Structure 1
Amino acid sequence: MTECRICGGAVEEFLDLGRQPLSDAFPRPADVDAEFFYRLAVGHCVECTMVQLMEEVPRERMFHEDYPYHSSGSSVMREHFTRTALNFIETELTTTDPFFVEIGCNDGVLLRTMAESGIRHLGFEPSAGVANVARERGVRVRTDFFEESTAAAVREAEGPANAIFSANTICHIPYLDSLLRGVDALLTPDGVFVFEDPYLGDIVKKTSFDQIYDEHFYLFSVRSVQAMAERFGFELVDVERHPVHGGEVRYTLARAGARQPTPAVARLLAEEEAQGLARPEVLQGFASSVTRIREDLVALLRSLRADGKTVAGYGATAKSATVTNFCGIGPDLVSYVCDTTPAKQDRLSPGVHIPVKSTEAFTASYPDYALLFAWNHAEEIMAKEERFRESGGQWILYVPEVRVV
């Protein structure tokens, strides 16, 4: 048992995914002995219902100069962030000289649109490598973590922000008390704090347990975000479902009483109540489904190996570290994983040490089966790799259940 990082209530563990490595640390063969491991377990707060990891990984181990993930790598995500930026420009950034801040701007995929539109902006990005990519694209970046002290420094230097946005980052930050005090310090009285992250409701419904890894400290629901907002003087005024990354919710927070909540908030709260998302027995049922997927996936891969079939992984994602290490899937079952990210190629997957190769290796000699770790981009990837299917290749998926397509 541990204390909730949001409200101090008791956190009850409901799923243990075992000994895990850093999900985005792809070691060279000579460096495998220096890998960092931790216990990946998740619990829920009996008071505010916030779902969170039982053990925190130091942020400097995850977000650093060599952080390999680039948001611009997917055309779907590029389009998503362009639409998001244009929507902010049309709705929240209509005053004279508006100021827009993004927490975790990565390679500038969203802020590039702000820069091209002449919007005064600033991105916080502690990972120097991707921050430099953003700068090369004309984006203003502060290579730093967003917290109370850094937000106050920006407020003093540049004035208040009309809107603060973050995508797939807020769930990474255990110290949300400092972050929300920073938002309070930086935001205008009528401004909004908008963030989108993987949605607990989708994770439970789809049994997408690979959304749980070191970087995802929190798994948000509308109920838990609403309680968190109220605790720090904010109000949840809007929610919006998005299909990206396997199912996310975009949350809009404003200062308490500043805006009228939309009907969407009440609707999604009612859906969560019907799903039983805060009930311990529902979360325990999710944990049982995770165990079943592990058993089914390992049995399938062992059967294919016994039949002499070749299997490669597709997408050296952070999520894949959870799957391979929890299931014990190594190079004996999956010969290699292909990925488009140069920083991951010619290295080994975290923990289980499956070789990572370029997608050119995949197309040069197709395997019999491809285990799709990047299942959240399935439509985009399968369309791109149509020749694999035409050659007789088949895809293995494990969300929401193990199946061959």
Structure 2
Amino acid sequence: MTACRICGGDLVEFYDFGRQPLSDAFHKPGQFQDEFFFRLAVGLCTDCTMVQLMEEVPRDKMFHEDYPYYSSGSAVMRKHFELTARRFIETELTGPAPFAVEIGSNDGIMLKTIADAGIKHLGVEPSGGVAELSRSKGVRVLNEFFQESTAVEIAATDGQADVIFSANTICHIPYLDSIFKGVDALLKPNGVFVFEDPYLGEIVRRTSFDQIYDEHYYFFTARSVQSMARRYGFELVDVERLPVHGGETRYTIARQGARQPSPAVAEMIAEENARGLATLPTLEGFGENVTKIKDDLVALLTKLKAEGKTVAAYGATAKSATVANLCGLSADLVSYVCDTTPQKQNRVSPGTHIPVRPAEAFHEDTPDYALLFAWNHAEEIMAKEKQFRDGGGKWILYVPEVHVV
């Protein structure tokens, strides 16, 4: 039995994805002899209901100088973060000398709008490459991991913040005790800590199991976040569903008693309880659905190969590592993965070592079928690649089930 990282309660494993690599470790061909692997398994805390990984991958192995994910790569996400920034400008950053801090600011996609408005800001980003790109956009960045000591230093230098924001980052961080102590040191008395991450309710509903990989340590619900916030002296005061990344929730945290909780909090928790979301029977049923998708996808790809059809994958996403390695995919079934990220091109996919080629390959060496790893951007991608569909090409998706469109 493993102890919960939040409350110390019993953590009960409900699904094992097996031996998995670092999801964003794209090696050069023939240079993966020392590739890092770990056991990817997920469990439920029977006390605070937090769902989390059973094993922790060292943070410096995942987030480093050459970290290859750029938030600005999607037009949908660029718009999403621009609207997020404008909302903060209109609501929380209206007082004298407002100050906004972002944990895991990536390439500055959100903070740039705040910087352009002339508002004091700071991004805290441990990955050197994306941090440097932020600076080139005029965004102020501290190239470090956010933790209690970092927050204390920022507060001493810049004062306390009106808003501490984080997107697709808090779920990455096992040591949330240090994060909340840092927020306590850095946040103004009436400030807000706002973070958005993949929502367990959507992961279970859609069986979007590829949201589970090394970087995602926690899988939040309103109930588990409420419990976590109270444990650290804070309160969950609002929740908001978001359509991005296959279904996320934005959580707004304030100091206890500082703000009146929105009715949306109680409504979401009631819905989660009615679904039995954070219960072993529900999560074990999710695991059974994962196994069915795995079996169906392998069967389809094997059948297409037997028929002489060609299959390539679209989007060398972090989450595709879970799918490819769980299913044991190889270049024998999926000839290549195309991706627009230069840092991933002319390398091989983590664990399965499928060649990653530039996006142009999709038109120069057009497959009969395209396995859409970046399914959360399906609408945007399919509109962009209309020529593929018009030419008889077909898309393979596996969320919420294996199907061809």
* TM-score (ref. length: structure 2): 1.00
Asked if residue 391 in structure 1 is aligned to residue 381 in structure 2, the reply is no
RMSD value, Cα: 0.4
What are the within-5 Å matches in structure 2 for residues 288-327 of structure 1? 288-327=288-327
Rounded to whole Å, the distance in 2 between the matches of 1:355 and 1:277 is 38
Q: Secondary structure at the match of 2:102?
A: strand
Per-residue Cα deviation, 1:249-269 (whole angstroms, up to 9, x for no partner) = 000000001000001101111
| 1:92 and 2:92 matched | yes
Q: Distance in 2 between matches of 1:278 and 1:348?
A: 37
1:29 counterpart letter in structure 2 = P
1:57 Cα deviation from its structure 2 partner? 0.2
2:167 alignment partner in structure 1? 167
Which residue pairs with 1:239 in the alignment?
A: 239
Partner in structure 2 of residue 336 of structure 1: 336
Q: Distance in 1 between matches of 2:378 and 2:68?
A: 21
Query: What letter matches 2:361 in structure 1?
Result: A
Q: What is the alpha-carbon distance in structure 2 between the residues aligned to residue 334 and residue 155 of structure 1?
A: 50
Deviations 1:166-191, CA, capped at 9 Å, x for gaps: 00000000000000000000000000
Query: Which residue number corresponds to residue 197 of structure 1?
Result: 197
Where does the alignment leave 5 or more consecutive residues of structure 2 unmatched?
Answer: none
Letter in 1 for 2:148: E
* Residues 170-249 of structure 1 aligned to structure 2 (within 5 Å): 170-249=170-249
- Is 62-71 or 359-368 further displaced after alignment? 359-368
SS where residue 33 of structure 1 aligns? coil
Alpha-carbon distance between aligned partners in 2 of 1:48 and 1:349, rounded to the nearest angstrom: 36
Pairing 1:266-281 to 2, within 5 Å after superposition: 266-281=266-281
Shift of 1:365: 2.6
CA distance in 2, matches of 1:375, 1:54: 26
Structure 1 residue 270: Cα displacement? 1.1
Displacement of 1:155 in angstroms is 0.3
Q: Which amino acid aligns with 2:233?
A: G
Whole-Å Cα distance in 2 between the matches of residues 330 and 277 of structure 1? 34
Q: Does residue 124 in structure 1 map to residue 96 in structure 2? A: no
Cα-to-partner distance string for 1:131-180 (whole Å, 9 max, x where unaligned): 00000000000000000000000000110000100000000000000000
Q: Which residue of 1 aligns with 2:152?
A: 152
- 1:332 and 1:366 map into 2 onto residues whose CA distance is 16
Question: How many angstroms apart in 1 are the aligned matches of 2:39 and 2:179?
Answer: 25
CA distance in 2, matches of 1:116, 1:23: 34
- Which amino acid counterpart does residue 278 of structure 1 have in structure 2? A
Q: Which amino acid aligns with 1:83?
A: L
How many Å apart are 1:279 and its aligned residue?
1.3
Amino acid in structure 2 at the alignment position of 1:125:
E
TM score, norm. by length of structure 1: 1.00
Q: Which amino acid in 2 is paired with 1:356?
A: V
Shift of 1:335: 0.2
Q: Which amino acid aligns with 2:318?
A: A
Q: Deviations over 1:361-380 (max 9, x none)?
A: 00113100000000000000
Distance 1:366 1:352 in 2: 21
CA distance in 2, matches of 1:331, 1:365: 15
Q: Distance in 2 between matches of 1:203 and 1:383?
A: 25
- Deviation readout 1:267-321 (Å, 9 max, x if unpaired): 1111111111011100000000000000000000000000000000000000000
Task: Note the residue ranges of structure 1 that are not aligned, 5 or more in a row.
Answer: none
Structure 1 distance, partners of 2:27, 2:159, is: 42
Q: Deviations over 1:40-85 (max 9, x none)?
A: 0000100000000000000000000000000000000000000000
Instruction: State the secondary structure of the residue aligned to 1:29.
Output: coil
Structure 2 Cα separation of the partners of residues 325 and 173 of structure 1: 23
- Counterpart Cα distance in 2 of 1:392 and 1:32: 36
**Structure 1 counterpart SS, 2:319:** helix
CA distance in 2 between partners of 1:275 and 1:328 (Å): 32
Local SS of the residue matching 1:274: helix
Aligned pairs for 1:26-37 within 5 A:
26-37=26-37
User: Structure 2 CA distance, aligned partners of 1:246 and 1:3?
Assistant: 29
Aligned residue number for residue 18 of structure 1: 18
SS in 2 for 1:16: strand
1:318-341 CA distances to partner (integer Å, 9 max, x unpaired)? 000000000101111000000000
Describe the SS at the equivalent of 2:31.
helix
Question: What secondary structure sits across from 2:223 in the alignment?
Answer: helix
2:58 pairs with 1:67: no
CA distance in 1, matches of 2:29, 2:337: 15
Q: Percent identity?
A: 70
